[in-house]
Structure 1
Amino acid sequence: MRRLPPALAALLLVLLTACSTVPTGSAPVQITEAPARPAGPVGIEPVEPPADATPEEVVRSFVVAAASTVAQHPVAREHLVPEAAETWSDEAGITLIGPDYATVTTDAGTVLVTGDLVGSVDTRGVFTGSAGEPFTHEFVLTEVDGEWRITNPPDGLLMLVPDFERLYDARAAYFVDPTGQRVVPDPRYLLTGEAQPTTLVQRLLEGPSPALAAGVLNSLDGITLTRAVTVSGSRATVDLAGLGDRGGADLAELCAQLVWSLDQVDDVSSVEIRTNGEPLSAAGVPAVQRTDDWAGFAPDSVPADADGHYLDAGRLMTVDGQPAPGPAGDGAYGLTAAAVSADPRMSALTSMVGTTVTGATTTLLAGPYGGELAPILSSGRLSVPTVAATRPEFWVVRDEATVVRVPASGSPQPVNAPTLTGQGRATALQLSPDGVRAAVVVARGEDTVLLVGTVVRAGEGPVALRDLREVAPALSSVVDVAWPTAGSLMVLAGDADEGVAPYVVGVDGWGLTDVATSGLPSPPTAVAAAPSQLPLVSAGSTVWQLSGGTWVTLIRGQQPLPGTEPFFPI
């Protein structure tokens, strides 16, 4: 397994207790006060190729030389023939391979490198995981002054995963959900060092990654950075041009994007925004801003009353072992799955949906939390319903093929998901807390994989689910999925031999890490997670929560409570 990056490592710690990016020459503005990379070496720097090295040794030394923070990678260029050294670009992205790669000298005298292709990082720091294919490159070498040198280096950097994890930090560039209620994480991988704050702001100015772009807003669009971001003590100072007369909600979103993004940088806890050298002065905007000033945009806020729920013999239950209020808690509907929506303004549970099965028909019921439910949709099969915090609407998958959304006060409406049918049978779908992404479990023959797509909205018009892409291809038998944060997933996956187990992984597929199964009576069958909550699973027809690295009963010191299909209101 790959080591969890810092953001996910912090998440896993909670769960268990609960360039520069890739260098680029196309920055939106010319900033001369800070280099794209640190001016001098940082940490362990590679060395020049050893004298009298064999072709295989030269190739391996070249791979090691990618792990440098020095601009232009001069040591890596020393491994190349002069012509290649002049034309090779270290700014064309990073190809990541596992550390256990092989080098073999062929009969033709070339050196064939093969290894596990983990993925790639583009020039904006966006990671894309591989689909499981291997990495291969045949290096051609020739002698230069009696030493072997490479004539055909691959485009960009070829880097080992441990080196990448040592040199690059996982940071989120935050954009805004279409309702203007939350900032949405767009994972980026940035070179460590003093230039990181400047690079992170540049990534915000450039806009969201292609997969996310249609689902979010960017209030920094059209803004430029006049000079490098400076950090003094715990304060980052950002000088912008192009703000004009921005104010109100637009300015609030802009500030929230900057403050929440820069708050991730080591030692930064406050931000001062300037415009053309002068402090930003606007009503409602503090001179020095912190995330507390924009807490309403928090990416992982949760309602105060969002305690876990589950089902027991058709009754809706809460994690304290008590029936939920109303007829759903009395078992009047014989529910097989449910979801509950909360009003963030009142921090109260407001509406809910649930499924019930009669013969070959599954019916979706809807109504107020604690009140009477009425049927609104029937089909042969409906997935477990899901809801996001930003809109009062529920989503289900009908007959493993059609995505349907059900507004809290409206009739069911289809979601345009043109590529879903070609992916396979959709057995589960869960919206991210911000409602901008959807995780979908899809069955393809004997395999069941995890996809993540972007929810695209056109005002009050049609809604689409686009850019479905596979994450965590190493997990080929996915059972269920949940969102512990807006930027990460908790996945149940496994096979008949090893059994189902929980994992956490970044929304982009980086940082797949297993989660403990100790304490569980049997492999888990369903998972629930939400920001700042202890994850829940059902196992052996009982419900468990993860605490201190062990799955424990809902009521400590008592027998496990019977139940299935746990979930959190949101």
Structure 2
Amino acid sequence: MRRARLLAVLAGAVLLGGCATVPEDSQPVAVQQQELGQIANPDVQQPPRDIDPLTVARDFVEASAQPVSNNAAARTYLDDGAAKAWQPGKVMNVIDDQFNTVYAAGTALPVNPMEVVVLVRATTIGTLGADSSFIPSRTPYELRLLVRKQPDGQWRVTNPPANIVMPYSAFTANYVRVPVYFFAQDSNTIVPDLRYVAGKPQLGLAGRVVSLLLSGPSDQLVGAVRSPLPEDAGIEGNVTPTPDGALMVPLTGVADQTPEVKKLIAAQIVLSLQAVTTNRVRLLSDGNALVDGHEDWLPSDVPSYTALASPGADQPGLMVVNGRVRSLADASAVQGPAGQGAYQVVSAAQSIDGRQLAIVELAEGRQQLRIGAFGAAAQPVNLFGGTLTRPTWRPTATADGTAGEVWTVVDGSSVVRVLRTSDGGWTGQAVNAEEVLTVGQISVLRLSRDGARAAMVVNGQLLVASVVRTQDSVTLRSPRILQTGTLTGVVDVDWLSQDSLVAATTMPSQPVVKVPIDGLRMDTFNSSNLTPPVYAITAAPGRPIVVADAGGLWTASDVGEVWRPHPHSLGSRVSPFYPG
């Protein structure tokens, strides 16, 4: 199997907690693929002499984040036997920077005066999985370390844990986030898969990223994306720089692929490597150019594979005001019944290409879905409920295709995808959302514009799940709560980019936040000028973020910006939305 043939990409890992403080906006740093045995053993600094057991435990945790030379820095805090025998697992726990090391008390303590038990107490914020993806989770953590005084008088840990635990700041200082790219299931839209690779040594970073590509998508995205790389694809030798300044990727097992598939493979590799190198990428297949006539590649040589996932410049966005749909550009009512008051519009969604409109209308005391061409009458769909979440469109598979799938959630508990029928009508099909519903009721659901994920608000929490499609079913799989315990009171969410979200909350201290799809960090927008609570938000690639509060609409483009009044807010209770 492909995984068995890959070189190891990350040093193993071990459970532990430590004390460190690093700025919240610090970013991980980068590395390369190599077997641990191939990494040159640098001069490892020995621990200071005569440090007490609590400091030994704390420093061991900090040093555990350094994977170089098989965690050589951490092994200096172990006694000789443990240093030789320690085999960290591939899963790593990331803990909050604020943690405690205390001496254990009570019974079952060592009788040997040369031994003490140190407790490492912390809060886990997530784990780095064996697939090199970050999985958020906030849980209490405790580790018991037996620390023994050695014949030379120095205290050393004797029982290192099976899986490394490191503070958040140590993790971000030693690991770099790399978007590894795959493709949507039924289109040539690229989908980023956030992964983390060790930051030192620098040599081997590109090879490590290629290894992640060859090993396939992360566990969460299995079934939600596809890879043009065949199962038997591999690397002949190493990914190495050439004397003329290119980065050579010598592929094997891809020579029999069609020219179209080879171009997708080239795009996948070049776009994934752009996060770790600025060199030209020389793509070879069994010694020859992977793509005939095109041996060296830069990111600018790759055609756009995001066009179907981005609203066009001619789509300025819309808003619902007093039951009517209006343009965000000039506040004019849109053409057709949706803009002229024929429907009592509660919420709406425009397809990414702008050609269709789905609306939720209030009629006879209940909410109903309607779908139609933009500017024309919208036909009613046989879908009713006490509440329907704002609709969200699945992207088309081709540029000349017509969007034919809309999602909504009925009464917080029934996720429905509404499909276009052969006669031009619409029919609903249930989406398997059992894993999400174990968390609670769904109040917001937004499909990513590449169709591979869904962002949701569930009981005031922000969740992301993958959209897995089979021939006869669609499932929301592997939901993950982002920033558990830190981000609460979420009322709305939208996709800022393919790998980041913006959310509106009821929290006065952080009314608008930005969160990556793996939930590793959270950035709070400037709250100046906003009048909490913020109740609606919309975003899209290359567009200003628009939020709605008690005073109307406000816009900003980045976290540090002061919110500016939108020129067409039209008072309170305005719900803005970009296509998607």
Same fold (TM over 0.5): yes
Among 247, 261, 268, the alignment partner of 1:257 is: 268
Query: 2:4 — aligned with what?
Result: none
Query: 1:388 — aligned with what?
Result: 394
- Which secondary structure does the structure 2 equivalent of 1:138 belong to? strand
Among 269, 274, 278, the alignment partner of 1:267 is: 278
**Cα displacement (A) at 1:341:** 0.7
- Which secondary structure does the structure 2 equivalent of 1:140 belong to? strand
**Cα displacement (A) at 1:99:** 2.3
Query: 1:12 — aligned with what?
Result: none
Q: Assess, with a 3 A threshold, how the Cα gap between structure 1 residues 116 and 419 changes in structure 2: closer, same or farther.
A: closer
Query: 1:16 — aligned with what?
Result: none
- Which secondary structure does the structure 2 equivalent of 1:524 belong to? coil
CA contact (8 A) 1:181 1:390 kept: no
Q: Assess, with a 3 A threshold, how the Cα gap between structure 1 residues 336 and 231 changes in structure 2: closer, same or farther.
A: farther
Query: 1:241 — aligned with what?
Result: 252
Q: Which blocks of at least 5 consecutive residues in structure 1 are unaligned? A: 10-18, 24-30, 344-348
CA contact (8 A) 1:310 1:319 kept: yes
**Cα displacement (A) at 1:435:** 0.6
RMSD: 2.6
Q: Which is worse superposed, 45-54 or 141-150? A: 45-54
Q: What are the equivalent positions in structure 2 for 1:284-303 lying under 5 Å apart?
A: 286-298=294-306, 301-303=310-312
Q: What are the equivalent positions in structure 2 for 1:213-362 lying under 5 Å apart?
A: 213-222=222-231, 223-231=233-241, 235-268=246-279, 270-282=280-292, 286-298=294-306, 301-320=310-329, 321-343=331-353, 349-362=354-367
Query: 1:435 — aligned with what?
Result: 451
Using the alignment, how far apart are the partners of 2:71 and 2:504 within structure 1? 41
Query: 1:542 — aligned with what?
Result: 552
**Cα displacement (A) at 1:468:** 1.8
Among 32, 55, 58, the alignment partner of 1:57 is: 55
Q: Which amino acid aligns with 2:197?
A: L
- Which secondary structure does the structure 1 equivalent of 2:126 belong to? strand
**Cα displacement (A) at 1:547:** 4.1
CA contact (8 A) 1:543 1:563 kept: no
Q: Assess, with a 3 A threshold, how the Cα gap between structure 1 residues 372 and 359 changes in structure 2: closer, same or farther.
A: closer
Aligned residues: 529
Q: Which amino acid aligns with 1:215?
A: A
Using the alignment, how far apart are the partners of 2:50 and 2:27 within structure 1? 40
Q: Which amino acid aligns with 1:134?
A: P
CA contact (8 A) 1:357 1:363 kept: yes
Q: Assess, with a 3 A threshold, how the Cα gap between structure 1 residues 314 and 38 changes in structure 2: closer, same or farther.
A: farther
Q: Which amino acid aligns with 2:220?
A: A
CA contact (8 A) 1:46 1:67 kept: no
Using the alignment, how far apart are the partners of 1:196 and 1:115 within structure 2? 31
**Cα displacement (A) at 1:544:** 1.7
1:213-271 Cα distance to aligned partner (Å, 9 max, x none) = 11110111321011222246874321100013201442232222112111122424x42
**Cα displacement (A) at 1:176:** 0.7
Q: Assess, with a 3 A threshold, how the Cα gap between structure 1 residues 559 and 395 changes in structure 2: closer, same or farther.
A: closer
Using the alignment, how far apart are the partners of 1:290 and 1:395 within structure 2? 38
Query: 1:372 — aligned with what?
Result: 377
Q: Which amino acid aligns with 2:411?
A: D
Query: 2:565 — aligned with what?
Result: 553
Using the alignment, how far apart are the partners of 1:124 and 1:500 within structure 2? 32
Q: Which is worse superposed, 154-163 or 526-535? A: 154-163
Q: Which is worse superposed, 208-217 or 138-147? A: 138-147
Query: 2:463 — aligned with what?
Result: 451
Taking structure 1 as the reference length, the TM-score comes to 0.86
Query: 1:39 — aligned with what?
Result: 40
Q: What are the equivalent positions in structure 2 for 1:128-139 lying under 5 Å apart?
A: 128-130=135-137, 132-139=138-145
Percent identity between the aligned chains?
29
- Which secondary structure does the structure 1 equivalent of 2:74 belong to? helix
Query: 2:19 — aligned with what?
Result: none
- Which secondary structure does the structure 2 equivalent of 1:211 belong to? helix
Question: Residue 202 in 1 paired to residue 211 in 2?
Answer: yes
CA contact (8 A) 2:310 2:352 kept: no
Query: 1:189 — aligned with what?
Result: 196
CA contact (8 A) 1:49 1:79 kept: yes
Using the alignment, how far apart are the partners of 1:397 and 1:179 within structure 2? 24
Q: Which is worse superposed, 107-116 or 483-492? A: 107-116
1:321-354 Cα distance to aligned partner (Å, 9 max, x none) = 22223222223212110001133xxxxx211100
Q: Which amino acid aligns with 1:39?
A: A
CA contact (8 A) 1:56 1:105 kept: yes
- Which secondary structure does the structure 2 equivalent of 1:255 belong to? helix
Question: Residue 71 in 1 paired to residue 69 in 2?
Answer: yes
Using the alignment, how far apart are the partners of 2:100 and 2:373 within structure 1? 61
**Cα displacement (A) at 1:442:** 1.2
Question: Residue 417 in 1 paired to residue 426 in 2?
Answer: no
**Cα displacement (A) at 1:378:** 1.8
Using the alignment, how far apart are the partners of 1:317 and 1:113 within structure 2? 57
- Which secondary structure does the structure 1 equivalent of 2:563 belong to? strand
Using the alignment, how far apart are the partners of 2:44 and 2:328 within structure 1? 54
CA contact (8 A) 1:206 1:221 kept: no
Q: Which amino acid aligns with 2:553?
A: V
Q: Which amino acid aligns with 1:475?
A: L
CA contact (8 A) 1:207 1:221 kept: no
Question: Residue 508 in 1 paired to residue 518 in 2?
Answer: yes
Q: Assess, with a 3 A threshold, how the Cα gap between structure 1 residues 161 and 500 changes in structure 2: closer, same or farther.
A: closer
CA contact (8 A) 1:180 1:253 kept: no
**Cα displacement (A) at 1:149:** 1.3
Q: Which is worse superposed, 198-207 or 321-330? A: 321-330
Question: Residue 104 in 1 paired to residue 120 in 2?
Answer: no
Q: Which amino acid aligns with 2:519?
A: G
**Cα displacement (A) at 1:105:** 1.3
Query: 1:404 — aligned with what?
Result: 416
Using the alignment, how far apart are the partners of 1:2 and 1:372 within structure 2? 53
Using the alignment, how far apart are the partners of 2:479 and 2:67 within structure 1? 34
Taking structure 2 as the reference length, the TM-score comes to 0.85
